Amino acid sequence: MQMFRKIGDEVVLVYNPRREKVEVGENIKIIDEKEGRGLLVQVIEQNLVDLTGILEDIIRIESMERMSFEEHAPPEYGKYTFDVKNMKFARAKIRKELRVSDQVEEIVDWTGWVPDRSAKVEPIDDSWILDKLKIGKKFYKYPIFLGNTAHNKKDLVISAHNLQGISIIVGKKGTGKSHLAKALLLGLIDNGAMGLVFDINDEYSALRYNTDGTESRYSDKIITLEPGVNLRFTLQYIGSDVFFDVIQTAMGLPEASAFELRNIWEELEKNGQLTFRNLRQQAKNTLDRRILGAIIRRLDRMAQTKLFTDNPQEATELEKEFEKIRSGGALVINLKLKSKDTIDLVVQTVLSKLQEILEKGGRPVFIFAEEAHFYLRETDWADAVTRMRHLGTYQIYMTNTPTEIRELVIRQADNLFLFHLTEESDLTHVSPAAKIDPETIIQVAKALPSRRCLMVGEVTNHYPFIIDVKSLDVKVAGATRKYFKVP
């Protein structure tokens, strides 16, 4: 393998595929031994060498198909032309510079230096680079094993510490996003952290079981909350701030009507009579017909979701649920087949309440949000990203429509897990999250098979790695149910 040229922050390596194999994502060293310096580059694309001479040759042979001709050349020449025609090049990004002194190699940021063409080019083992970047089990107090590097099959272990920010998992349908999210969640639980999952496909509760149906080691660490069944709130508990935030924003109640309703709320609260039923009744008894309709319609829609109850025995307190998973666990809120109203109401009530809990000094929580654009409004994104993050909610967003993720979130993302994705617009939208060159994202995302992802960010010390995500030893529901089955 040889370095052919450098363009910007890329080098082009030429190699003979009959002798050497190169893969996208592979790390390569280019060492100038005399100078004691080198480059660490990573392959982002491979291609055939496109030289005018080769093209002419191919066209000549194709057009002479029906003619017979004899070529008199020594056999080595034949082999040589064959090799030339099949030479490949690998486009590789310069990631780091290497300084070698007394046989010890040290990784530093690239200074713009390039070796000459005589430099030695050699593939490197991923464990070498993981060690240099101080990534791996031996470096971490809170390790989470996620899978193996794609080409060298080395363990990729991240630190739960580095998930304390915003992480984004994107990729086409069925590429393995939720599976990775589950691996992250279980890893966090193993390290004693608490999670909260907005589960729109009802696929996280299954983690309570092993593949053979018996209870898994997470059986009492994963608590499923069903809105309207074991997730119900009293008005007293959610409080007026949360209630009015929700009725005004999720339900669209105009300010003037909300003002009237708030007066009734306060009156009832003062007399110790605050219940959903009393609120509705009192509104009916006292309010003007012009605004009454708007209020009653919204209250009835809220009642239909069964999220509110006047019976304290039936009511949920999130603090108590979190208490049950103090030593690590997750609250999974099942939103499958719920109406849009229910989903909006649940998400907003839970997020507002969570914010209140954290403001009072509650313990940080990792929020897992699948397809969050279905239920997060503009203000929720802003809140979640800035205020709630500050308070200690860390967020993991998963989606197959990355353009729906707000730019604000992308720009503040700490980690990106990228599965197969081909749309140019999706790729350019998410690439700022990676804080590396956009070409890497664009080229690599197209070349990823299912269950393989590119990960970059705090978790990888900002060096992109391509990994095959590990399988899980517990049950994973999730694949879409199909009527026609493969025999």
Interactions with ligand ATP, residue window 154-173 (CB under 6 A): 171, 173
Question: Which of 177, 232, 280, 338 is close enough to bind ligand ATP by CB under 6 A?
Answer: 177
- Which one of residues 46, 167, 175, 178 is an interface residue with Mg ion (CB under 5 A)? 178
Query: In this structure, what are the phi and psi dihedrals at residue 157, rounded to the nearest 5 degrees?
Result: -115, 125
Shortest reach from residue 487's CB to ligand ATP, in Å: 19
Q: Nearest 10 degrees: CA dihedral of 34, 37, 41, 46?
A: -20
Q: How far is the CB of 106 from ligand ATP (least distance, A)?
A: 34
Residue 239 binds to ligand ATP (criterion: CB under 6 A): no
Nearest-angstrom CA–CA distance, 315 and 234? 6
- Residue 396 C-beta: closest distance to ligand ATP, Å: 12
Window contacting Mg ion (CB under 5 A); options: 83-91, 118-126, 170-178, 182-190: 170-178
Residue 179 binds which one of ligand ATP, Mg ion, none, with CB within 5 to 8 A depending on kind? ligand ATP
Q: Does residue 471 interact with ligand ATP by CB under 6 A? A: yes
Nearer to ligand ATP, 88 or 452 (CB): 452
User: Would you give the binding string for ligand ATP spanning residues 398-437, x where CB under 6 A is met?
Assistant: --x-------------------------------------
Q: Is 149 in the site for ligand ATP (CB under 6 A)?
A: no
For residue 394, count CB atoms less than 10 angstroms from its CB and return exposed for 0-12, middle for 13-18, buried for 19 or more.
buried
Q: How far is the CB of 126 from ligand ATP (least distance, A)?
A: 18
Give whichever of 179 and 353 is closer to ligand ATP, judged by the CB atom.
Answer: 179
Q: Does 176 bind ligand ATP (CB under 6 A)?
A: yes
Q: Which two tokens stand for residue 228?
A: 């309207």
**Beta-sheet strand order (sheet of 329-334):** 155-159, 143-149, 465-469, 452-457, 415-418, 166-170, 393-399, 365-370, 194-199, 329-334, 222-225
Residue 228 interacts with ligand ATP (CB under 6 A)?
Answer: no
Which ranges constitute the DSSP H helices of 19-94? 52-63, 75-86
- CA torsion angle 475 479 483 486 (round to 10): -90
- 174 in contact with ligand ATP (CB under 6 A): yes
Contact partner, 451, from Mg ion, ligand ATP, none, Cβ < 5-8 Å per class = ligand ATP
Q: Are 296 and 280 in contact (CB under 8 A)?
A: yes
Choices 178-186, 229-237, 241-249, 294-302; region in contact with Mg ion by CB under 5 A: 178-186
Q: Where are the alpha helices (DSSP H) in 375-436?
A: 378-382, 389-391, 407-412, 424-430
Tell me the helix, strand and coil percentages in the chain, rounded to 5: 40, 25, 35
Name the residue nearer to ligand ATP (CB basis): 28 or 433: 433
Q: Which of residues 27, 167, 175, 282 is near ligand ATP by CB under 6 A?
A: 175
What tokens were used for 200? Answer: 């729109």
Site size toward ligand ATP (CB under 6 A) is 15
Q: How far is it, in rounded angstroms, from Cα 30 to Cα 8?
A: 16
Question: Residue 57: which residues within 8 A CB-CB, separation 6 or more?
Answer: 81, 85
The residues that touch ligand ATP, with contacts defined as CB under 6 A, are 171, 173-179, 400, 451, 469, 471, 476, 478-479
